[in-house]
Amino acid sequence: MKLGKVEFCHFLQMLALFLCLSGMNQAEISRSRSKPYFQSGRTRTKRSWVWNQFFVLEEYMGTDPLYVGKLHSDVDKGDGSIKYILSGEGASSIFIIDENTGDIHATKRLDREEQAYYTLRAQALDRLTNKPVEPESEFVIKIQDINDNEPKFLDGPYTAGVPEMSPVGTSVVQVTATDADDPTYGNSARVVYSILQGQPYFSVEPKTGVIKTALPNMDREAKDQYLLVIQAKDMVGQNGGLSGTTSVTVTLTDVNDNPPRFPRRSYQYNVPESLPVASVVARIKAADADVGPNAEMEYKIVDGDGLGVFKISVDKDTQEGIITIQKELDFEAKTSYTLRIEAANMHVDPRFLSLGPFSDMTTVKIIVEDVDEPPVFTSRLYSMVVSEAAKVGTIIGTVAAHDPDASNSPVRYSIDRNTDLERYFNIDANSGVITTAKSLDRETNAVHNITVLAMESQNPAQIGRGYVAITILDINDNAPEFAMEYEATVCENAQPGQVIQKISAIDKDDPPNGHQFYFSLTAEAANNHNFTLQDNKDNTATVLTKRNGFRRQEQSVFYLPIFIVDSGTPSLSSTNTLTIRVCDCDADGVAQTCNAEAYILPAGLSTGALIAILACILTLLVLVLLIVTMRRRKKEPLIFDEERDIRENIVRYDDEGGGEEDTEAFDMTALRNLNIIRDTKTRRDVTPEIQFLSRPTFKSIPDNVIFREFIWERLKEADVDPCAPPYDSLQTYAFEGNGSVAESLSSLDSISSNSDQNYDYLSDWGPRFKRLADMYGTGPDCLYS
């Protein structure tokens, strides 16, 4: 069988590789012809072995250790006196040495991509003395590469874009695959590229991995995205090589290769004539298959009879042409309009002009529909004038309105009373004549703005509005008066001819040529000897003194009547009184005191000081009254006791009782009666709510309830007892409950009598108990317990 050229080349390569590996694996230390010798001092012993590199194939899959090579020293006579040791990278863990023969084996599978070579050190030792017979030497074990790694696209998957309609061979994107095998040895890392999916639209350069377009005129509008599968194969693409794939998504980007086109040659829209200005009449759109800036359009009206009535603009978001009204529509004037509208691309690509003009034309017809319109005034604003002296019923002016519809319905007029709340004006419903309904006052309101309503007789819901501004003309109906309230003063030491006040006047009227006032004293005051008036001829006047020697004690206030006349026709006048006070002034003429009563007050005390003194006296009186009241209340006892309050005395006794055997110290009957009845007495500081007339008998109930009721009743009795002290006190009761032989041990009750306990026997106990006998004897009316 004959071999082809390619197979023959492969056979030669494999044969050379086999021979090379066989020679390297049998490398060993060759003995030098010169024997080793030793020199003392700094002399160096000449090495007796020569090193070569060792090579071992990666990814060895056998079960036995892989033979790497053999170490041998010329000192070794083969009698077992020499042993070999190995150190360095991987010694003992990966590489082992037979200490007798020097054979090196690899015990683990090696991967060149993890570590390409290992550096080790070998030494020959005397077995008996364990001393080196040769200097330590270093050698390298290189891992021989095999094709065990497929190419990988580290940056995949890829996305790329290319303009549509691109010519053949346009570069799209470059893909790159990497192979972890040794690129310096064999073809294990030599990669070639091929396309598995994406033909016939795209191709790939085998060596560079550059993807290019393979077909012309690819149209985005037909298909805008393609999915490519690219393969990278090592061993220069030969059989047996390893391969890897990646995907490339190619998107065709848009270019302006489609002109705009209207879907229809003509459009028609109906609009009411009442549509306001700036309202949208219609929206039209020319279709453009392009996107983004390539689909941006502009619209314009190029012809037609509605150039000044309508306008068209573009909606930037939808690329629609928006037709709006520029002027009001009137069905009675024109019933339809025709517009020629052009749509054109804003960004035209010169490469595609051959595809046709990038614009289109269409016709839009707008039909105006008739609507029932409200009456229209002949003027939007009427200006009228009337004198404020006009009498009621005076005609001011006339407004006019008409129905713009073909029916020309009659119109009736009225005034919107929200604009004429005071009802100053009336209007004739038929003629539109406006008249006065009240007397007018320019000073109150100089201009009246009213709204006139015009309604159709046949359809009152149709209302038109007209605006009327009525200006009130002024007449001289207000007399002049002081511009402000003047407070004039004159010093006691004033000299004749001294100016004390400058006055001016105002007038509510508004004459066309401005105001002119004339000032003078009234006839009664013209001959007074105190003050005079000088008219300054500029609508002001000056008041001057005619004498000196003003004294507050004689007259503290002067009243000067001033006569003011305006220049109106007819002229009006008024008399205004100027109040002048006489004051004590300092050397600069500044008033200090203007009250005549100041002379009556003492020189040393002011009014404020007197008020402070009176307030102190009243405060002292109130304090005295409070002290007296408190003392009286303290003297009144809280308990009606004919003797003294026992709380004011502390009595101390040092006697000790006789214990349980002392039966004479107390009466047992006082401890056995629970049903003693006490007389209720009134306390001043406690208002009793319940008067206890009798004590209830105890029934056969649980002991805890009996004790609770017993204590509760004692508490209520103590609260209403007038003889109880008005402070918290401790009371002790010896009550055993029902069934006890002694019954209650409380000293408050007695089984022998229903009357109050008699403590007269205390007097018989001697002088030590005299105090108790006095307190609990029969003398007082109330008992203290």
Which of 447, 473, 499 represents a domain boundary (last residue)? 473
Q: Does one domain contain both 237 and 277?
A: no
Asked whether the predicted pLDDT for residue 759 surpasses 80, the reply is no
According to the model, what pLDDT value does residue 782 have?
40
Give a yes or no: residue 673 inside a domain. no
Residue 123 to residue 728: CA distance in whole angstroms: 112
Give a yes or no: residue 191 inside a domain. yes
Q: Does one domain contain both 501 and 546?
A: yes
According to the model, what pLDDT value does residue 31 have?
32
Cα 623–627–630 angle (5° rounding)?
A: 135
Least confidently predicted of 524-533, 565-574, 648-657:
648-657
Residue 779 to residue 48: CA distance in whole angstroms: 148
pLDDT digits (tens, 9 = 90+) for 396-431: 999 999 988 877 889 999 999 999 999 999 999 999
Q: Does one domain contain both 365 and 384?
A: no
According to the model, what pLDDT value does residue 466 have?
94
Residue 211 to residue 104: CA distance in whole angstroms: 51
Q: Does one domain contain both 159 and 196?
A: yes
According to the model, what pLDDT value does residue 711 have?
82
Residue 113 to residue 622: CA distance in whole angstroms: 113
**DSSP 3-state assignment of 70?**
strand
Higher-confidence residue of 752 and 157: namely 157
Residue 713 to residue 692: CA distance in whole angstroms: 9
Asked whether the predicted pLDDT for residue 646 surpasses 70, the reply is no
Q: How do strand 202-204 and strand 210-213 relate by DSSP bridges?
A: antiparallel
Higher-confidence residue of 673 and 286: namely 286
Q: Does one domain contain both 61 and 137?
A: yes
On whether the CB atoms of residues 138 and 119 are closer than 8 A, the answer is: yes
Q: Does one domain contain both 347 and 388?
A: no
Q: Does one domain contain both 420 and 343?
A: no
Give a yes or no: residue 517 inside a domain. yes
Give a yes or no: residue 230 inside a domain. yes
Higher-confidence residue of 216 and 771: namely 216
Most confident option among 33-37, 436-440, 708-712 = 436-440
Per-residue pLDDT band for 655 (boundaries 50, 70, 90) equals low
Give a yes or no: residue 644 inside a domain. no
**DSSP 3-state assignment of 141?**
strand
Q: Does one domain contain both 209 and 175?
A: yes
According to the model, what pLDDT value does residue 480 have?
92
Count of domains observed in the chain = 5
Q: Does one domain contain both 74 and 138?
A: yes
Q: Does one domain contain both 515 and 461?
A: no
According to the model, what pLDDT value does residue 447 have?
94
Q: Does one domain contain both 284 and 315?
A: yes
pLDDT digits (tens, 9 = 90+) for 278-311: 999 999 999 998 898 988 999 999 999 988 899 9
Provide the mean pLDDT of the chain.
Answer: 79
CA distances to 306, 316, 341, 356, 558 from 365, rounded to whole Å, are: 10, 24, 11, 27, 91
Give a yes or no: residue 672 inside a domain. no
pLDDT digits (tens, 9 = 90+) for 1-55: 333 443 444 445 455 444 444 444 443 333 333 333 222 333 344 444 445 578 8
Q: Does one domain contain both 271 and 346?
A: yes
Per-residue pLDDT band for 699 (boundaries 50, 70, 90) equals very low
Which of 419, 443, 473 represents a domain boundary (last residue)? 473
The terminus-to-terminus CA distance of the chain in angstroms comes to 146
Give a yes or no: residue 323 inside a domain. yes
Which of 225, 253, 281 represents a domain boundary (last residue)? 253
Q: What is the CATH number of the domain that holds 451?
A: 2.60.40.60
Contacts of residue 78, Cβ cutoff 8 Å, sequence gap at least 6: none
Give a yes or no: residue 617 inside a domain. no
- List the domain range (segments joined by +) for residue 532: 481-593
Least confidently predicted of 48-62, 157-171, 183-197, 540-554:
48-62
Least confidently predicted of 210-224, 450-464, 739-753:
739-753
According to the model, what pLDDT value does residue 654 have?
59
Asked whether the predicted pLDDT for residue 115 surpasses 70, the reply is yes
Per-residue pLDDT band for 744 (boundaries 50, 70, 90) equals low
Structure letter (DSSP) for residue 45: P
pLDDT digits (tens, 9 = 90+) for 227-275: 999 999 988 888 878 889 999 999 999 998 889 999 999 999 999 988 9
